[in-house]
């Protein structure tokens, strides 16, 4: 079991430095830049409301309220109480007195910047609702993940005794598939469009199955 855990740690370490991780990071960065410059605040608000409706239809009103309240608490603690938005407004938008004293009249520009900050606020909150929804699913997914990992481990142990073949190809592509699913989910978390939340439990179930397959095809050591 110790060998399996050490192998999984090495695998996770390699995943974090490979090109796929860099690609996901790059795309997420581009998404955030697009949100900050192009997406109207009204669009982000409509996306939040539509996705909340999806959650209510698929999981019930109580689940929707839990997700929204959790996201609101996170948003307040991380961005409002810390003064992040206030500092951003103060840095990017001058006060009325400063505008009157300035020789350059650029009210249109400051209105545009204020709209971008508002859009970014809503997008950050939207992302937090998705993480809150993910958190609410984790206890249920553990019911699948733990048996899948145990089954994979026992399959690996059996293969050590009966000389059954552990496929490095299956092992490698299982890891790539798992990394791809995680990358897609991460991209979806930052997407400024309403998405049916069913993709979260489906992705987690696929990761649980892939984990079992990957462990079951670890290379054997006698």
Residue-wise pLDDT tens digits, 83-114 = 888 888 887 777 777 766 666 666 777 777 78
- Alpha-carbon distances, residue 167 vs 152, 156, 172, 220 (angstroms): 13, 11, 9, 10
Domain membership of residue 89 (yes or no) is yes
Neighbour tally for 118: CB within 10 Å: 16
CA angle 39, 40, 43 (to 5 degrees): 90
Neighbour tally for 186: CB within 10 Å: 14
**Domain that includes residue 92, residue range:** 2-216
Assign 4 a pLDDT band (cuts: 50, 70, 90): very low
Q: In 3D, which of 57, 32, 148 has the Cα closest to residue 49?
A: 57
What is the rounded distance in angstroms from the CA atom of residue 44 to the CA atom of residue 123?
6
pLDDT of 7 higher than 70:
no
Q: In 3D, which of 221, 212, 222 has the Cα closest to residue 8?
A: 212
DSSP letter, residue 220 = P
Domain membership of residue 60 (yes or no) is yes
Domain membership of residue 221 (yes or no) is no
Domain membership of residue 222 (yes or no) is no
Q: How many residues does the chain have?
A: 222
Domain membership of residue 164 (yes or no) is yes
The contacts of residue 30 (CB under 8 Å, 6+ apart) are none
Share of the chain above pLDDT 90, in %: 9
Which residue would you say has higher pLDDT here, 34 or 88? 88
Stated pTM of the model: 0.74
Domain membership of residue 160 (yes or no) is yes
Highest mean pLDDT among 25-29, 67-71, 105-109, 169-173 belongs to: 67-71
Share of the chain above pLDDT 70, in %: 76
pLDDT of 183 higher than 70:
yes
Assign 17 a pLDDT band (cuts: 50, 70, 90): very low
Structure tokens at 196: 């049916």
Query: How many Cα atoms within 13 Å fall on the side-chain side of residue 88?
Result: 15
Structural domain count, the chain: 1
């Amino acid at each position: 079991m110790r060998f399996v855990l050490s192998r999984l740690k090495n695998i996770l370490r390699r995943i974090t430095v490979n090109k796929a991780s860099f690609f996901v990071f790059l795309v997420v960065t581009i998404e955030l830049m697009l949100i900050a410059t192009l997406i109207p605040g009204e669009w982000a608000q409509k996306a939040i409301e539509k996705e909340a409706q999806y959650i209510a239809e698929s999981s019930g009103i109580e689940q929707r309220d839990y997700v929204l309240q959790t996201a609101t608490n996170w948003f307040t603690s991380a961005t409002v109480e810390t003064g992040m938005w206030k500092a951003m407004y103060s840095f990017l938008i001058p006060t009325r007195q400063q505008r009157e004293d300035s020789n350059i009249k650029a009210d249109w520009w400051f209105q545009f910047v204020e709209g971008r900050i508002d859009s970014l606020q809503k997008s950050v909150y939207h992302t937090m609702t998705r993480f809150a929804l993910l958190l609410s699913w984790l206890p249920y997914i553990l019911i699948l993940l733990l048996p899948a990992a145990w089954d994979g481990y026992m399959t690996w142990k059996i293969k050590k005794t009966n000389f059954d073949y552990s496929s490095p190809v299956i092992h490698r592509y299982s890891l790539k598939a798992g990394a791809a699913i995680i990358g897609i989910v991460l991209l979806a978390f930052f997407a400024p469009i309403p998405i049916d939340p069913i993709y979260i439990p489906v992705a987690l179930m696929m990761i649980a199955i892939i984990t079992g397959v990957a462990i079951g095809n670890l290379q054997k050591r006698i």
